[in-house]
Amino acid sequence: MSVVLTDFWFGLIAVLWAGFFVLEGFDFGVGVLLPWVARTEGERKVALRSIGPTWDGNEVWLLTAGGATFAAFPAWYASMFAGLYIPLALVLGGLIVRGVAIEYRSKVFSAEGRAWCDRGMVIGSLLPALLFGAAFADLIRGVKMDSGHHIIGGFFDLITPFGLLGGIVTLGFFCFHGAVFLALRTEGPVRERAHQAARALAVPVVVAAAGFLAWSFAERGNAVSLILSVVLAVALVASVLAERAGREGWAFGASALVALGLPVFVFASLWPDVIPARNNSAWSLTVHGASSTHYTLVVMTVVALIFTPVVLAYQGWAYWVFRARVTDSSPAIGAHLPRATVSANAAYQVPGSATPPTGPAEPEPSTDEPGA
């Protein structure tokens, strides 16, 4: 029974990563592409409103995956954070910078302040998108470990051609995924440029992904990873073709399938290890060797079976509520405020305006508020 629960939690953590890649993947893509798809202040607000109500909720998938790893596989968690401290710290720093940029952008009144927030949005989205792929690629290839399952070697030992390819694949794919999402969720110039970005990224992403899947199979291939690699390749090509045909919903559905499949492909390639040791396979940390006690897994399973459907239902409802396309005619900034307050803040609503307000300034509402 304990073996079954261990396998269940290994698979569930893969599913949590899959949810994170689907939902946060297009958030990263929107952040990286922001300067290119949105060239005016109004267009940037449209792009940010497309992810505003849900971006912070999407990060819950990463937090849950980390928490589940800590509880179900403490040895895996400890080895990862001890051996990959610098890249994981960079990921955390990027997520913090991005979150601060999104939240503070709606509370600054100067064009320079908003520009700094936009830079933070790009950097804070680019770093995790690149490093997650590099980290997963390094795990597939294997890392140097000692007999105590401790990762040895420095940060630069992790910078390998295969790791860089994995980072390029996730960064490029997330940008493509984000462009398809923007094309589905917005109208006007942002939508048109999102289409252009998706078409420009299509061929490089397909080529890089094909190379990564083939190289991964050569490193740690098995029957399940072979099937998944074929499904991923077909879904990615289908998304590209649907996008070129203007079928935005189908294109996003196919790219979401790719995002779902990527972490599952990585976990299937790793099995039965969680951290393979490339210097000595006997020192690899296995799924069953890293797991918690049977009692811990039982308690976690009961909690997961109760609360996971609730979380899925809530998040599905949130996306349903905010399903409409975002346009530049969406409720304007300050539309919910009294007329006198809106008038006093008119200078702040016109990009580049140098006229100071005549009364107390009311901060622009956050982009994650309904109607923002």
Give me the residues paired with residue 145 across strands: 151
The reported pLDDT for the residue numbered 215 is 93
The torsion angles phi and psi of 19, rounded to 5 degrees, stand at -60, -40
Of residues 123 and 84, the one with the higher pLDDT is: 123
pLDDT digits (tens, 9 = 90+) for 308-350: 888 888 888 888 888 888 887 554 433 343 433 333 333 334 3
Percent of the chain residues topping a pLDDT of 90: 52
pLDDT digits (tens, 9 = 90+) for 238-286: 999 999 998 999 999 999 999 999 999 999 999 999 999 888 888 899 9
Nearest to 186 by CA among 330, 354, 306, 62: 330
pLDDT digits (tens, 9 = 90+) for 182-216: 999 998 899 999 999 999 999 999 999 999 999 99
pLDDT band at 109 (very low <50, low <70, confident <90, very high): confident
The reported pLDDT for the residue numbered 108 is 83
Nearest to 59 by CA among 29, 81, 33, 28: 28
The reported pLDDT for the residue numbered 229 is 93
Q: Report the predicted TM-score, pTM, of the whole model to 2 decimal places.
A: 0.84
The reported pLDDT for the residue numbered 338 is 42
The reported pLDDT for the residue numbered 353 is 41
The reported pLDDT for the residue numbered 237 is 96
Give CATH 1.20.1630.10 domain extents, the chain.
2-294
pLDDT digits (tens, 9 = 90+) for 84-105: 888 889 999 999 999 999 888 8
Contact 198, 167 (CB under 8 A): no
The reported pLDDT for the residue numbered 156 is 75
Say which residue the tokens 């890089």 belong to.
208
pLDDT digits (tens, 9 = 90+) for 14-67: 999 999 999 999 999 999 999 999 988 888 999 998 998 888 888 889 989 999
The reported pLDDT for the residue numbered 1 is 60
The reported pLDDT for the residue numbered 329 is 54
Paired tokens of 136: 């997963």
The reported pLDDT for the residue numbered 171 is 96
CATH class of 2-294: mainly alpha
Would the CA dihedral through 206, 22, 333, 347 be positive or negative? Answer: negative
